[in-house]
DNA sequence: TTGTACGCGTTATCAG
DNA sequence: CTGATAACGCGTACAA
């Protein structure tokens, strides 16, 4: 049997489409008998209104989109994304919305934005001036950016990455480390490119380094890695193969730090006795691994929740809810310690 | 400025809607000059076709839905779901689809299914006879079930949970453990209720126990926990507070096992010296924690990938691709060992 | 209280 | 060969 449409119900019941629609959506507009008759027929035929046609009429979709900077199969290697999704999810459930994950197509966000049948978008790391931003605005889609740069006429939810990065780097420096490696995510080896978050954190690291010694930023080893466990493992191997081993590794995200620790331990290196490792994010895994990870706690769940809240009010009011800067703080655990003064770990 | 529709382009260019649409979707049907003129005007006005109207016409949505058994904010506490999502994502990206996460609304899947504007659904743990299944079928939505029960006329992707559970339990028994606790997920304390996966695993555990001693299944302590780190931690505390401590804890999922180990270590109990802990799933975290977790490796990523592949062929062919049973195997790591024969850990 | 007509993009079918 | 008409699916402003 083919799909049952409102037209079928109208034809069989003898009423018009309008009346059938009212029977479901605005019962007070029609007579009780009329309604009962229509509902009975609809039930018998198993009528379910086509959601797409419904959405088209209502100009509501009951879905918000999450525009991912990476393909789904890769993005979820980082539990940090799970936390953001959870926070968004809390709001979705409150508002009875679903959540559409929109991956880039052929390395571009455009096509995903073009085809998104959603009430609004949450983006990760989108910045003023990017082509994707213009495109979203041309579609008149309400949107909120997580981890973006302020100043493009859209609300941004984030933390002060510059300050947070400085805090964790100063912790490492205060412990006495000077041979330091920074493991950044992304593929670009240049400071000036890449996301706002990345450049902010790098700048924060460098400022802390300069505070100790103006030449220190240039003595630091930089390694770039994909934000996943394996990315961290590879970064660790790269560092171990290097000429001079660092006494501390500062990773730009926890998933990298955890992968680094795993690889170091696999190579028989003790953390933090031989090498200290610190991260960024404070994902749940940070306190599960041994040694527990020293890191900067930034609230991924809260970022998602606030972004979704802002988006909902944007959708409802058309009024911009303003930027939100969430709190981040250093969490000192067991993966960082003073460097071994005997320097037994250099080769 | 208001949204630009195809009608505006038609009006301004002087052609009909049809001709404008052909300019984008079937250029061979109209003259070159006509096309160029239309495209120029559309570009100037920033015309983007409404995706919903487009989907309605095309009867394609470019999205598949993942029907979650739990609200998003809770479901993603378990990294196992991330793996499934990644696997689905791989196919989505290949097919240029997005992925819509559909949480239950007011503890019911119905409303989510009713409103899902998707090409098809992947469900987790749905079984023949459930109201939700009928509903999906009434909507003529193609769908594939992950971790479901075979026999409802829809394809199922899973593993042999009964055998896999038996394998890990026999490993524990072979080590010599007899005082065993089983930590199951879900709230139902009865064997007969809950999901197929849960009952299969419980049955597998019990059969292995019976193989050693017919009375053993009834001497086992059962604890029920939410499938999250905290669920595992709470379960561990419940067990520690119990009259007689187990020498081995068999958890129905890794996230539970990892939480259990965390709580045990927090209480000063050594794993596996004092208590052995085994899990189920082999999530990435299983090999990160110390001691590394003994578990059953089941391919969450592959489940997602196969389910999405099957769904895509179901959408394309309307032909059922058949069930898929993936391989699972025992992975012995460091969290399981023979019980301390001096029995120093009972109180 | 109920029906007509419109909005949205695509395309089968028809007209020139 | 080129282009227009009408139908699909639903909700609802407006008319009757």
- CA nearest neighbour of A303 among A127, A77, A90: A90
User: How many alpha carbons lie under 13 Å from residue A156 in its C-beta half-sphere?
Assistant: 18
SS3 category, B65: strand
Q: Is B100 on the interface with A (CB under 8 A)?
A: yes
Mark whether B82 and B197 lie in a shared domain.
no
Structural tokens at position A145: 């950016």
Q: For residue B121, what are the domain limits?
A: 63-159+300-326
Indicate whether B128 pLDDT > 50. yes
Protein CA B29 to sugar C1' C14 (Å): 15
- Of A126 and B187, which is predicted with more confidence? A126
Residues B130-156 have a mean pLDDT of 91
Is A13 part of any domain? no
Is A72 part of any domain? yes
Percent of chain B with pLDDT over 90: 69
Taking the C-alpha atoms of residue B207 and residue B205, their distance in angstroms, rounded to an integer, is 6
Mark whether B226 and B259 lie in a shared domain.
yes
Mark whether A99 and A111 lie in a shared domain.
yes
Mark whether B98 and B245 lie in a shared domain.
no
Mark whether B172 and B277 lie in a shared domain.
yes
Interface of A with B in 31-70 (CB under 8 A): 46, 48, 50-56, 61-63, 65
Identify all chain A residues contacting B139, using CB atoms and an 8 Å cutoff. Answer: 48
Most confident by average pLDDT, A8-22, A100-114, A274-288: A274-288
Mark whether A217 and A289 lie in a shared domain.
yes
Mark whether B155 and B125 lie in a shared domain.
yes
Work out how many domains chain A is built from and give that number.
Answer: 2
* pLDDT tens string B251-294: 999 999 999 999 999 999 999 999 999 999 999 999 999 999 99
Mark whether B205 and B232 lie in a shared domain.
yes
Substitution target in B73, B122, B134, B230 with the highest count of A β-carbons within 10 Å is B73
Mark whether B105 and B211 lie in a shared domain.
no
Mark whether A214 and A307 lie in a shared domain.
no
pLDDT tier for residue B341 given thresholds of 50, 70 and 90: low
* pLDDT tens string A94-140: 999 999 999 998 878 999 999 999 999 999 988 888 889 989 998 98
Taking the C-alpha atoms of residue B80 and residue B69, their distance in angstroms, rounded to an integer, is 13
pLDDT tier for residue A345 given thresholds of 50, 70 and 90: very low
Altogether, the residues listed in chain B come to a count of: 347
Mark whether A130 and A180 lie in a shared domain.
no
Q: CA separation (Å) from A232 to A267, A337, B85, B292?
A: 14, 20, 22, 18
Indicate whether A146 pLDDT > 50. yes
Identify all chain A residues contacting B138, using CB atoms and an 8 Å cutoff. Answer: 46, 48
Looking at strand D, which nucleotides approach a protein CB closer than 7 A?
A: 1-13
Is B7 part of any domain? no
For B306, the enclosing helix (H) or strand (E) is helix B300-317
Is B293 part of any domain? yes
* pLDDT tens string B2-45: 678 888 888 888 888 889 898 988 888 888 888 888 889 898 88
Is B141 part of any domain? yes
Is A217 part of any domain? yes
* pLDDT tens string B41-97: 898 888 999 999 999 998 899 999 999 999 999 999 999 999 999 999 999 999 999
Residues B121-128 have a mean pLDDT of 91
| CATH label of the domain that carries residue B294 | 3.40.50.2300
Mark whether A192 and A339 lie in a shared domain.
yes
Decide if A117 and B52 are in contact by the 8 Å CB cutoff: yes
Q: Is B87 on the interface with A (CB under 8 A)?
A: yes
Is A320 part of any domain? yes
- Bridge partners (DSSP) of residue B145 are B123, B156
Q: What is the pLDDT of residue A29?
A: 81
Mean pLDDT of chain B: 91
Is A58 part of any domain? no
Mean pLDDT of chain A: 91
Interface of A with B in 136-155 (CB under 8 A): 138-140
């Amino acid at each position: 049997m083919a799909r049952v449409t409102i037209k079928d119900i109208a034809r069989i019941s003898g009423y018009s489409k309008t009346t059938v629609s009212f029977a479901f959506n605005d019962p007070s507009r029609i007579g009780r008998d009329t309604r009962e008759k229509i509902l009975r027929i609809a039930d018998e035929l198993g009528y379910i209104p086509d959601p797409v046609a419904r959405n088209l009429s209502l100009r509501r979709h009951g879905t918000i989109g999450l525009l991912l900077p990476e393909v789904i199969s890769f993005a979820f290697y980082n539990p940090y994304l799970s936390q953001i999704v959870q926070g968004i999810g809390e709001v979705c459930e409150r508002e009875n919305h679903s959540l559409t994950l929109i991956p880039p197509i052929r390395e571009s966000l455009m096509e995903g934005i073009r085809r998104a049948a959603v009430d609004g978008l949450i983006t990760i790391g989108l910045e003023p001036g990017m082509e994707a931003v213009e495109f979203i605005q041309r579609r008149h889609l309400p949107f909120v950016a997580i981890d973006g740069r302020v100043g493009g006429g859209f609300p941004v939810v984030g933390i002060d990455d510059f300050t947070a990065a400085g805090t964790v780097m100063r912790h490492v420096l205060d412990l006495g480390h000077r041979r330091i490696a920074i493991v950044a995510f992304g593929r670009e080896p240049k400071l000036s490119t890449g996301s706002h978050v990345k450049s902010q954190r790098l700048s924060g690291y460098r400022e802390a380094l300069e505070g100790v010694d103006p030449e220190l930023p240039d003595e630091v080893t930089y390694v770039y890695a994909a934000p996943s466990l394996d990315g961290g493992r590879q970064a660790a191997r790269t560092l171990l193969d290097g000429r001079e081993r660092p006494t501390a590794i500062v990773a730009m995200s926890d998933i990298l730090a955890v992968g680094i620790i795993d690889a170091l331990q696999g190579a028989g290196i003790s953390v933090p006795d031989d090498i200290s490792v610190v991260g960024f994010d404070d994902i749940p895994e940070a306190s599960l691994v041994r040694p527990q990870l020293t890191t900067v706690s930034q609230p991924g769940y809260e970022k998602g929740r606030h972004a979704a809240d802002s988006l909902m009010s944007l959708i409802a009011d058309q009024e911009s809810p303003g930027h939100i800067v969430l709190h981040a703080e250093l969490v000192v655990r067991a993966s960082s310690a003073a460097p071994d003064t005997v320097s037994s770990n250099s080769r």
